[in-house]
Amino acid sequence: MQELIVNILLLAVALLAAVLQLIGRKPSSGMTRKQKIMLWRILTAAVLLLGLQSLGAGAFDSLGGAGRWLRLALYLVDYLVIGYDILRKAYRGIRNGQVFDENFLMAVATLGALALAVYENGDYLESIAVMLFYQVGEWFQSYAVGKSRRNISDLMDIRPDYANVERNGKLEQVDPDEVEIGSTIVVQPGEKVPIDGTVVEGTSTLNTAALTGESLPREVQTGDAIISGCINMTGLLKIRTTKEFGESTVSRILDLVENASSRKSKSEDFISRFARIYTPAVCYAALALAILPPLVLMLGLGQSPAWETWIYRALTFLVASCPCALVISIPLSFFAGIGGASKAGVLVKGSNYLETLSQTRIVVFDKTGTLTQGVFEVNGIHHNQLENDKLVEYAALAESASSHPISKSLQMAYGKEIDRSRVSGIQEISGNGVTALVDGHAVAAGNEKLMDRLGVPYISCHSVGTIIHMAIDGQYAGHIVISDVVKPTSKQAIQALKSAGVYKTVMLTGDAGQVAHQVAAELGVDQVYSQLLPADKVEKVEELLARKRGKEKLAFVGDGINDAPVLGRADIGIAMGAMGSDAAIEAADVVLMDDDPMQIAKAIKISRKCLGIVYQNIVVAIGVKLLCLVLVALGFANMWLAVFADVGVMILAVLNAIRALFVKKL
């Protein structure tokens, strides 16, 4: 019965190898030369083994004494075809002083089984088949890892291959590295923007999905800054470059993501440390299994030692113990996790940060630019005698000479070109406001002090923000409220964080207490600290760090422009809105390409999923290994089961690791 199963298995392996060989001819299969050679070896070995098996021992016995040796020689040839590289690697490992690795395990196990078979003139099949199936497993692993590695890399590959430069009226494709700062490049519809710059001609819509994960297109026109990595969708753009290729956004992001997996997480460290103790430990355990029980049987109990049984069990033990499933799947899980995150517009600078992120229980926000837009907008107009638009128009015109952020936001609210000829006699009264003649009317715009000074009675405002009182021709005309606007998704983001297991959210701000508390209450933030100077923010974060319990981690979210020290001090620094901001990319551990605070919860969920997969793989792989080892030691499993357990767990672990890549629905 077992013989039949084995023959069917061998046939299946041979067929599989032949089919894969055919598939491998297509360049799209992505098989390397080495993998193709390995397939040939698997095919040859399987066919040869099948032939030898169907001939059977009887055919050789009829040849007399030489028959036994001929049979051995043929099986040995088969063994060498399939396993010579393992033997070579094991030998080299011993010579280089790194004895214990999986090659050594396999070489010792199969050579031992072969020696036992020679001694008994029996079943050579087992050792060769074990080697064969091990190699099939290795082949599959190398192919699966290679393929998923390429898939992930392709996904992250936003690297532009060329830049179009106009020379003598003709477009020429050049290496983006060769384009100097200040040159003009042309980006046609459908092409990637290769280098950061400013649009000098043309309007178009840009797809920023590769950078931000956000599918909403962005409009650009002449004069707008444009960052590399976006895809130009509709119109022809001429761009004057402001950076070199190496310093451009796309290069920096790629650099960051590619180097991310070089920063090892604790789980990865654990696995490599584990493998370092595990393999020698298993080897010694196998040695003990081969020697101790027979000695006990012989000396202690006076029974026959049964050396063959115990040596066979020890060899099976070695086969069962291969740690490859762990060693390959953990880094692959992290790589897939980082790849999936970057596809969603979340750049994680290393596996270790992904790990920290998953343990985040406290999130500290910087208010401006994170939960709020960080730009001041006209948020209300009260008690006005004129139409809203008219009032804003007068205010904008009166303030037209000023470059103060407040006047900028007034001009923005007005939204039209300012006709300076309508304004005359502008007088700025420092710390109060301005007075000017607009269309012949005396317009005064400023704070309460200005109104007092002009002797105009005014109505105080209850709203939070900067209040600009207006007086026209000496008459009070109402006031305009200008304040920072909360981002539309901020409230949702705080809730999403809560449901993702963050139990405390804290907001830090330099603003006055009243403003801060109003925003906090509106968003549902747990704690607020207001009127902080940048140095105070570090102090507050340190206070919070000192108070947190056990393993939980504190994340600080800022816009990366002025809070680099705090980003560095927190367990994990998250910078958002990094499109084009170098400072953020430098200072933070996690960079959100988008301005959307929802991304924070998403980043945490991605990290949780990835870490979940890592732990599943660790537990399942080690669990199955230990179970197998126990079964083998007790004699309930043979070498066949051992090799299938090894290959099976490895394949499952690799497939599970790939799941970390899918983060869309989180």
- Between residues 98 and 173, which has the closer beta carbon with respect to other proteins? 98
How near is the Cβ of 609 to other proteins at its closest, in Å? 18
Q: Where on the chain is the footprint of other proteins (CB under 8 A)?
A: 32, 34, 92, 96, 98, 101-102, 142, 145-146, 149, 152-153, 258-259, 261-262, 272, 327-328, 331-332, 335
Question: In terms of DSSP bridges, do strands 231-232 and 170-174 run parallel, antiparallel, or are they unpaired?
Answer: unpaired
Q: How far is the CB of 408 from other proteins (least distance, A)?
A: 43
- Residue closer to other proteins, measured from CB, 338 or 444: 338
Q: State the minimum distance, in angstroms, from the CB of residue 88 to other proteins.
A: 8
Reduced to 3 states (helix: H, G, I; strand: E, B; else coil), residue 170 is strand
Q: Which of 421, 401, 324 is nearest to 624 (CA)?
A: 324
* Least distance to other proteins, CB of residue 208, Å: 24
Question: Which residues make Cβ contacts (< 8 Å) with residue 425, sequence separation at least 6?
Answer: 435, 436, 437
With a CB cutoff of 8 Å and minimum separation 6, the contacts of 389 are none
Return the number of the residue (149 or 517) whose C-beta is nearest other proteins: 149
Whole-number CA gyration radius for the chain:
35
Do residues 370 and 420 make contact, with C-beta atoms less than 8 angstroms apart?
A: no
Taking the complex as a whole, how short is the minimal distance between the CB of residue 150 and other proteins, in angstroms? 9
Nearer to other proteins by Cβ, of 38 and 363: the residue is 38
What span, in angstroms and rounded, lies between the C-alpha atoms of 511 and 518? 11
- The smaller minimum CB distance to other proteins, of residues 161 and 258, is found at 258
Characterize the bridge pairing of strands 372-382 and 475-486: antiparallel
Closer CB to other proteins, 121 or 272, in the complex: 272
Catalytic annotation on 255?
Answer: no
What's the closest the beta carbon of residue 38 comes to other proteins, in angstroms? Answer: 10
The minimum distance between CB 134 and other proteins, in angstroms, equals: 13
Closest to 224 measured CA to CA, from 207, 211, 206 = 206
Question: 96 or 403: whose CB is closer to other proteins?
Answer: 96
Residue number, 332 or 624, with CB nearest to other proteins: 332
SS3 readout for 184-251: EEEECCCCECCCCEEEEECCEEEECHHHHCCCCCEEECCCCEECCCCEECCCCEEEEECCCHHHCHHH
Residues 129 and 79: beta-carbon distance below 8 Å: no
Q: What is the DSSP string of 489-502?
A: THHHHHHHHHHTT-
Q: Where are the beta strands (DSSP E) in 34-169?
A: 163-167
| Residue 338: CB minimum distance to other proteins, A | 9
Q: Give the separation between CA 230 and CA 130, rounded to whole angstroms.
A: 51
Q: Which is nearer to other proteins, 142 or 205 (CB)?
A: 142
Shortest Cβ 24–other proteins spacing (Å): 15
Distance CA 503, CA 494 (A): 10
Catalytic hit among 196, 366, 563, 596: 366
Nearest Cα to Cα of residue 601 among 311, 357, 283, 250: 357
Q: Are 556 and 364 spatial neighbours (Cβ–Cβ below 8 Å)?
A: yes
Question: Residues 565, 579: contact at Cβ < 8 Å?
Answer: no
For 141, 366, 542, 659, the CA distances from 612, given in Å and listed in that order, are 22, 29, 29, 11
3-state secondary structure of 597: coil
In DSSP terms, 385 is beta-bridged to: none
CA 5 to chain centre: 44
Question: What residues are annotated to the active site?
Answer: 366
